[in-house]
Amino acid sequence: MSVLTPICMVGEVVMEMIVPRLMSSIIDDGVTAGDLHHIYVVGGWMIVAAIVGLFFGVMGAVFGSHAATGYARNLRRSMYRNIQTFSFASIDKYSTAGLVTRMTTDVTNIQNAYQMILRMFVRAPASLICAMVMSFLICPELAMVYLVAVILLGGCLIFIMTHAVRYFGEAFRKYDDLNESVQENVSAIRVVKAYVREAFESEKFKKASGNVQRLLLRAELILSGNAPLMQITVYSCILLISWLGARMIVSSGGTQLTTGELMSMLTYCMNILMSLMMLSMVFVMVTMSAASARRVAEVLDEKTDLHNPENPVMEVKDGSVRFDHACFSYKKGGEQVLSDINLDIKSGETIGILGGTGSAKTSLVQLLPRLYDVTAGSVSIGGVDVRKYDIETLRNSVAMVLQKNELFSGSIAENLRWGNKDATDEELKAACQQACADEFIDRFPDGYNTHIEQGGTNVSGGQKQRLCIARALLKKPKILILDDSTSAVDTATDAKIRKSFAEKIPGTTVFIIAQRISSVENADHVLVLDNGKISGFGTPEEMLRTNAIYQEVYNSQTKGGGDFDEKGGEE
């Protein structure tokens, strides 16, 4: 399609250039000479040329549309696929609104520019060159008028383009702010309404959309000079050609220039000047899309820093975990989030993790499924460094229920099968029983076929957490990580879930990040983190005797003195 479009455009231009010459022949050799047969014959050829030109024009439009939309589809598909390969470190570089803008507005700009390049960028220069050549062949003296007009008009158009493009580039960058405002408002609409902040959000959107409007308006005002400039040039050329051509016809008696040739010159005048107009718009569109192309290229060129080794280990033997002087920072050369972590955990143990906000609890467990890589030291599972495993194999063996639970639009069963797409109905029910999710699923009229809205907005926080735990259990992992995943569940249900873990998956190593002492008091070991360092590690009884932070949390919660974060804030 990308090859056929320019060919059709050239064919259309050739037919357009032939028509004025045929018209000249009709006037000079038909009308003036009174030869009706010549008029019929040449008129027939004009009709043929017009039909062929129309065919080439229509096919060029069809091929160009297919090529441009296909190119946009491939761009979006490539971006989406590349985003799926991003590590968490890569994802952290881009905002959600920025990625959405790149896949919508920016790709649309590139699509429009590509279509114009295939059609107008071929058609306009071809038409300009052919018309100039034909004009000089007819009458070099009159054709000089076109040449001067082209030079003057080209200079003015370049001036207009360079000034308009700057504002277009700034406007496209402001689209990110606009999309971010919409995304935040829609995703957090319940909070907005609960705090009666509709007016504030409307004003924020008004400001973002106003910035886009202001920049686009400036660019369009500059571009609006194109139309009057073109009209002045076209009408001036028509007047000059008509006046000079008429004088040449009268003074030479039709020997230097004929009436038909003058009509052809006027037609070529329009072709030349309209070609310049089209070229100016092509350059504006291409320059506008250049900023979009750079933004899209950033996403396409982004490569994950997590790769499979040459000969990856394809099996995780067990759920034993070892941290050997592990250190981690989110940016190269940045401040260390975790420092000198040394742990040795046996397979099947339950590890409770406590620590204040910002103590790097989540960062620690994210090293296990290799969502991030350590910056120093190593993390091993089943006696093998996680960097030696096949990434898919490793992550299938480590199930993680994230701090922010996410459900997708679809039925409960479809959401659960994210953990295991081949899970049977019996396996779904067994996993839900372990997560105590069957208690509320059975109360739904449609049971496991109950529809879940996007984001799980039609289930409560506790129900969402239990569904996410059941989804993780379906993976039958060797390591299960619960990142504060029972915070919305009552203590009795929390205890039942932990009891089912001990009974149903005794061989699975379980990491429980929690703020409640009750969630970790039956763990085999408790790990207390403080500012990315190990403050203590041992059995709950040992920690209660020896660790000041654990003692403080225990006393604050068992004696009603507040919650963990409040105590942490007082420190």
Q: 418-452: per-residue pLDDT in tens?
A: 888 888 989 999 999 999 999 899 899 999 999 99
Q: What is the pLDDT of residue 561?
A: 47
As a whole number of angstroms, the distance between CA 410 and CA 217 comes to 43
pLDDT, residue 55, reads: 92
Higher pLDDT, 304 or 352: 352
Range in 312-321, 365-374, 482-491 the model is least confident about = 482-491
349-360 average pLDDT score: 90
Does the pLDDT value for residue 553 go beyond 80?
yes
Percent of the chain whose predicted confidence (pLDDT) is above 90: 26
pLDDT at 571: 32
Residues 362-404: tens digit of each pLDDT: 899 999 999 888 999 999 999 999 999 999 999 999 998 887 7
pLDDT at 541: 92
Q: What 3 state SS string does 378-435 have?
A: EEEECCEEHHHECHHHHHHHEEEECCCCCCCCEEHHHHHCCCCCCCCHHHHHHHHHHC
The CB-side HSE value for 369 (13 A sphere, CA atoms) comes to 23
Predicted confidence (pLDDT) per residue in 251-303, tens digit:
877 677 887 888 888 888 777 777 877 777 777 777 777 778 888 998 898 88
Contact predicate 265/238, CB 8 Å: no
pLDDT digits (tens, 9 = 90+) for 138-152: 888 888 887 888 788
Average pLDDT (479-490) is 85
Question: Distance between CA 296 and CA 290 in Å, rounded?
Answer: 10
Query: Is the model's pLDDT at 568 over the cut of 70?
Result: no
Residue spans of beta strands (DSSP E) within 159-199 = none
Sign of the Cα pseudo-torsion (103, 108, 114, 117, in order): negative
**pLDDT band, residue 414 (cuts 50/70/90):** very high
pLDDT confidence of residue 570: 35
pLDDT of residue 183: 74
What is the band of 325 on the pLDDT scale with cuts at 50, 70, 90? very high
**pLDDT tens digits for 118-172?**
888 888 888 888 888 888 888 888 888 878 887 887 788 778 777 777 777 677 6
* Helix/strand/coil for 151: helix
Beta strand segments in 203-349, E: 321-328, 338-345
Q: Which pLDDT value is given to residue 92? A: 74
Element (H, E) at 438: helix 438-441
- Give kind and range of the element (H or E) at residue 376: strand 376-381
Give pLDDT, residue 564. Answer: 44
For the domain made up of 321-570, give the CATH fold.
Answer: Rossmann fold (3.40.50)
The residue among 183, 174, 167 whose CA lies nearest residue 209 is 174
User: Where do you find CATH 3.40.50.300 in the chain?
Assistant: 321-570
Sequence-distant (6+) residues with CB within 8 A of 205 are: 178, 181, 182, 185
Instruction: Please report which confidence band the pLDDT of residue 330 belongs to, taking 50, 70 and 90 as the band edges.
Output: confident
Q: How many CB atoms lie within 10 A of CB 248?
A: 19
Instruction: State the pLDDT at residue 480.
Output: 93
Average pLDDT over residues 186-191: 77
**Mean pLDDT score of the chain, rounded to an integer?**
84
Superfamily of domain 4-301: ABC transporter type 1, transmembrane domain (1.20.1560.10)
Identify the pLDDT of residue 254. 66
More confident residue, 563 or 110: 110
For 283-392, list the strands marked E by DSSP. 321-328, 338-345, 350-355, 376-381, 384-385
Residue type, 552: E
Task: Give the span between the Cα atoms of 129 and 497, in whole angstroms.
Answer: 79
Banded model confidence at residue 225, pLDDT cuts 50, 70, 90: confident
Over the stretch 66-114, which tens digit does the pLDDT of each residue have? 899 999 999 999 999 988 888 777 777 777 777 888 888 889 889 988 8
CATH 1.20.1560.10 spans which residues of the chain? Answer: 4-301
| For the ranges 198-212, 241-255, 272-286, 315-329, the one whose mean pLDDT is highest | 315-329
pLDDT of residue 174 exceeding 50, the answer is yes
Q: Cα–Cα distance between 383 and 398 in angstroms, integer?
A: 15
Q: Lowest mean pLDDT: which of 300-309, 377-386, 501-510? A: 300-309
- pLDDT value at 481 more than 60: yes
